[in-house]
Amino acid sequence: MELQYHIKCKEGDIFPFVIIPGDPKRVQLIGSLMEDVKEIASNREYTTISGFYKGVGISVTSTGIGAPSTSIAIEELARVGAKTLIRVGSTGALDEKIKCGDMIINTASVRFDGATKDYVNPYYPAIASYEVTLALIEACEKLKYRYHVGIGASKDTFYGGQERPSFGDYHQSFMDNTVDDLEKAKVLNLEMEASTVFTLSSLFGLRAGAVLAVFGNRKTQEFEVKGEKEAAKATLESIKILSGWDKLKEKKNSKYFYPSLI
């Protein structure tokens, strides 16, 4: 398998379990919680490391900000052997009961992005793998983290598209009520990549999930950079859990995981 053009990885460089933060600096944070870590490649926004967590091989690749760069990462990671992708990052909450530092585990995402529309009809859902979602829930329970589970929304822009002021007070009426309308639809949070991760993973036959640290609440206007390390720990622990379930499925000759399999 040839070297992938953007991520600069080839087959054998990465493990089937891949964590995909947006920020390259988060790659190093996650790596600090792993063992026997080695840097594989760094090019543009894509930094990749591989190592072990409690005996499970895990790779970490940053995706950059937004859907287009994330779609490139997923395409190329799939080509070199990724089977399970978990997005870890930050988000803004839309429910006033959610606090800064809480975890949000997204089960699905509203596809406001543009990149996935290049792949499939916009009515196609962006849904997380139930196995990954359940493993993330179990990890947060084990680590005693405060967490919330539900639907998120992914936007292509950070400012106008998420109802934040644009430069020079630029404004269009269609930007109004984004936060209120999504909150009324029981959408928990706004971020920029999960819909791409979920949609492309479904199309490519991969497992995917997302756990996000709440940095701000759009309803209460609270903001605090908090929970980043906890989200990383939850992701690593969920992969350890998934690895165990995968072995159990193989032992029991079951295609799917279900609770009574244990």
Decide: 65 and 113 in contact? Cβ < 8 Å.
no
CA dist 190 and 90 (Å) reads 9
Q: Which residues contact 208 (CB under 8 A, 6 or more apart)?
A: 84, 85, 86, 87, 128, 129, 132, 197, 198, 201, 202
User: Is residue 6 flagged as an active site residue?
Assistant: yes
Q: Is 255 a domain residue?
A: no
* pLDDT for the residue 218: 94
CA dist 34 and 31 (Å) reads 5
The CATH number of whichever domain residue 168 belongs to comes to: 3.40.50.1580
Of 215, 181, 179, 211, the closest CA to residue 194 belongs to: 211
Q: Is 87 a domain residue?
A: yes
Task: For the chain, give the number of residues.
Answer: 262
User: Is residue 164 flagged as an active site residue?
Assistant: yes
CA dist 148 and 228 (Å) reads 15
- Per-residue confidence of the chain (262 residues) as pLDDT tens digits? 689 999 999 999 999 999 999 999 999 999 999 999 999 999 999 999 999 999 999 999 999 999 999 999 999 999 999 999 999 999 999 999 999 999 999 999 999 999 999 999 999 999 999 999 999 999 999 999 999 999 999 999 999 999 999 999 999 999 999 999 999 999 999 999 999 999 999 999 999 999 999 999 999 999 999 999 999 999 999 999 999 999 999 999 999 999 999 9
Q: Is 245 a domain residue?
A: yes
Q: Is 232 a domain residue?
A: yes
Q: What is the DSSP letter of 167?
A: G
Domain that holds residue 236: 17-250
Q: What is the DSSP letter of 118?
A: G
Q: Is 200 a domain residue?
A: yes
Q: Is 1 a domain residue?
A: no
Q: Is 102 a domain residue?
A: yes
Q: List the catalytic residue out of 76, 131, 163, 228.
A: 76
Q: Is 7 a domain residue?
A: no
pTM confidence score: 0.97
Q: List the catalytic residue out of 79, 138, 164, 222.
A: 164
**How many structural domains comprise the chain?**
1
Q: List the catalytic residue out of 218, 228, 230, 237.
A: 218
